[in-house]
Structure 1
Amino acid sequence: MTLLVVGASGFLGAEVCRQAVAAGGRVVGTYHSAAVTVPGVAPRRLDVTDRAAVRALLTEVRPDAVISTPYRFDDWTVTADGAAHVAYAAAEVGARLVHLSSDALHGGRPAPYLDDEVPTPIYAYGAAKAAAETSVRAIDPGAVLVRTSLIVGEGSKQIALCHDALAGRATLFSDELRCPIDVSELAAAVLELVPADYAGPLNVAGPDPVSRAELGLLVARQSGLDPAGLKTTTAVAAGVQRPAEVRLDSSRAAGLLRTRLRGVTELLAP
């Protein structure tokens, strides 16, 4: 089997590559600026905003499956248009597509979001992720759209941000709630979905909803650091317009997948 990982130099993409190589597959990984460093992966530079280049690469590689992970927080052309280009090219060569989406496309509420709820974005990045999903579903109804949350693990920017807040170099919001998931578990779940016949949106996130400030306290406890210096505020006070409470109900994924999705309180146990 030939697997193409689009965005292989990213945090999740690299972990997907590592696990796929370990399973014995032929893995081709794309990058844009940062190089792919996973042994056993054939690296290929790709600009996902260049539709012709995306089509040319997939026509050459002829992958059996494509895992699409690239995004750029402040760039619509990468997040939305790039996803459409990958979906179109994957459909053209008949490849199974697993598209990585985000809880950012929801507007936030106290009740958990189910898998197939309609996006309600309230800021630009969420709108770009919602547009990406719309394009992918229109181009390839058989694709699976993995809606996930904050990705944690060794090397995670989320954990790094917590350490910065504990050192007084950053501030965490106490009113912004998410369902963090470990990068290795998310990668394993994504790879499980490649041979599956599931189509459409699927929530794949941790079972424990925590605020970013609470995540900082868990990191402090795990690392043996004094939490007294943790800098916190609220998104409202900071004037940041992002979804507040976004809980993903991942019970369908938990029943479908062999991979166990652990809660962040277990992941960050001392």
Structure 2
Amino acid sequence: MRVLVVGGSGLLGRAVCSRAVDAGLSVVGTFHSGLIGVPGVDARRLDVTDRPAVRALVAEVRPDAVVGTPYRYGDWAVTADGAAHVALAAAEAGARLVHVSSDALHAGRPTPYPDDEPPTPVHAYGAAKAAAETAVRAIDPGAALVRTSLILGEGSKQIQLCRDALAGRAVLFSDELRCPIDVTDLADAVLELVVSSYAGLLNVAGPDAVSRAELGLLVAEREGLDPAGLKTATGAALGLSRPLDVRLDSARATDLLRTRLRGVRELLAP
């Protein structure tokens, strides 16, 4: 099987490339500015906002499956339009599509979100992810769409944000809850979906809901950092338009997939 990973230079994209190579698949990964750096991957430069370029690359590679992971915070053309371009090219090539989405398209509420919950975005990034889903589902009803949460792992921006907050250089919100997931667990789940016939939305996130501030304390404990310096605030008090309590119910994924989705406390145990 040949798999095209669009956005292969990102944290998740690299993990998908690496795990796919380990599984013996033929892997082509795209990058725009960063490097993929995974042995065995055929790396190709691609601008996902350029629809003809996306179509040309997919037609050349002729993948059996396409994994779409590209996004750029605050960039509609990459996050929304780019996803549509990838979906269109994959459909034209008859390739299986797994599109990676985000919990950021939900507004937040006291109860967990099921897989099929309609988006309720409260900021531009969430709106872009919601638009991407709409485009993908319209173009390819057979595609799998993975909604995930904060992604942890080596090189994770979320872990670095915690370190910065512990050093007083950033702020973590105590009222912003998420269900963090390990990047390897997520990559394995994505690759399971590549070879499955699952269609539609699927929450794939960790079982533990923690605030960003709690995540910072877990990082401090694991890395032996002084938690006293942790800088926190509440999004509500600052009047920020951000999703706050966003917990994903991943029970369907747990039943469907062989991959065990580990909780954040297990992942960050000292």
- Above 0.5 in TM-score? yes
Structure 2: how far apart are the matches of 1:111 and 1:238?
23
Structure 1: how far apart are the matches of 2:139 and 2:154?
35
Partner deviation per Cα, 1:132-159 (whole Å, 9 max, x = no partner)? 0000000000000000000011211100
Q: Structure 2 matches for 1:72-91, cutoff 5 A? A: 72-91=72-91
Match of 1:15 in 2: 15
CA shift for structure 1 position 225: 1.6
Match of 2:188 in 1: 188
Partner deviation per Cα, 1:26-83 (whole Å, 9 max, x = no partner)? 1000011112211110011111011100000000000000000000111001000000
Structure 1: how far apart are the matches of 2:267 and 2:7?
25
Match of 1:267 in 2: 267
- Match of 1:197, as an amino acid? S
CA shift for structure 1 position 169: 1.0
Partner deviation per Cα, 1:100-146 (whole Å, 9 max, x = no partner)? 00001111101000001111111110000000000000000000000
- In structure 1, stretches of 5+ residues that fail to align are none
Q: Structure 2 matches for 1:201-212, cutoff 5 A? A: 201-212=201-212
Structure 1: how far apart are the matches of 2:35 and 2:163?
26
- In structure 2, stretches of 5+ residues that fail to align are none
Match of 2:150 in 1: 150
- Match of 2:41, as an amino acid? V
Does residue 129 (structure 1) correspond to residue 129 (structure 2)? The answer is: yes
Structure 1: how far apart are the matches of 2:122 and 2:208?
23
Match of 1:162 in 2: 162
Does residue 69 (structure 1) correspond to residue 69 (structure 2)? The answer is: yes
Q: Structure 2 matches for 1:1-270, cutoff 5 A? A: 1-270=1-270
Deviation beyond 3 Å, 4+ runs, structure 1:
none
- Match of 1:16, as an amino acid? V
Calculate the TM-score normalised by the size of structure 2: 0.99
Structure 1: how far apart are the matches of 2:212 and 2:7?
26
Q: How many residues align?
A: 270
- Match of 1:176, as an amino acid? E
Q: Aligned with 1:38: secondary structure? A: coil
Partner deviation per Cα, 1:155-207 (whole Å, 9 max, x = no partner)? 11100110111111111000111000000100000001011111000000001
- Match of 2:141, as an amino acid? P
Structure 2: how far apart are the matches of 1:52 and 1:140?
18
- Match of 2:251, as an amino acid? S
- Match of 2:62, as an amino acid? R
- Match of 1:150, as an amino acid? L
Q: Aligned with 1:18: secondary structure? A: helix
CA shift for structure 1 position 238: 3.0
Q: Aligned with 2:101: secondary structure? A: strand
Structure 1: how far apart are the matches of 2:28 and 2:240?
38
Structure 2: how far apart are the matches of 1:67 and 1:102?
15
Structure 2: how far apart are the matches of 1:66 and 1:20?
12
Calculate the TM-score normalised by the size of structure 1: 0.99
Structure 2: how far apart are the matches of 1:240 and 1:42?
42
Q: CA RMSD in A?
A: 0.7
CA shift for structure 1 position 236: 2.2
Structure 1: how far apart are the matches of 2:176 and 2:267?
20
Structure 1: how far apart are the matches of 2:111 and 2:36?
39
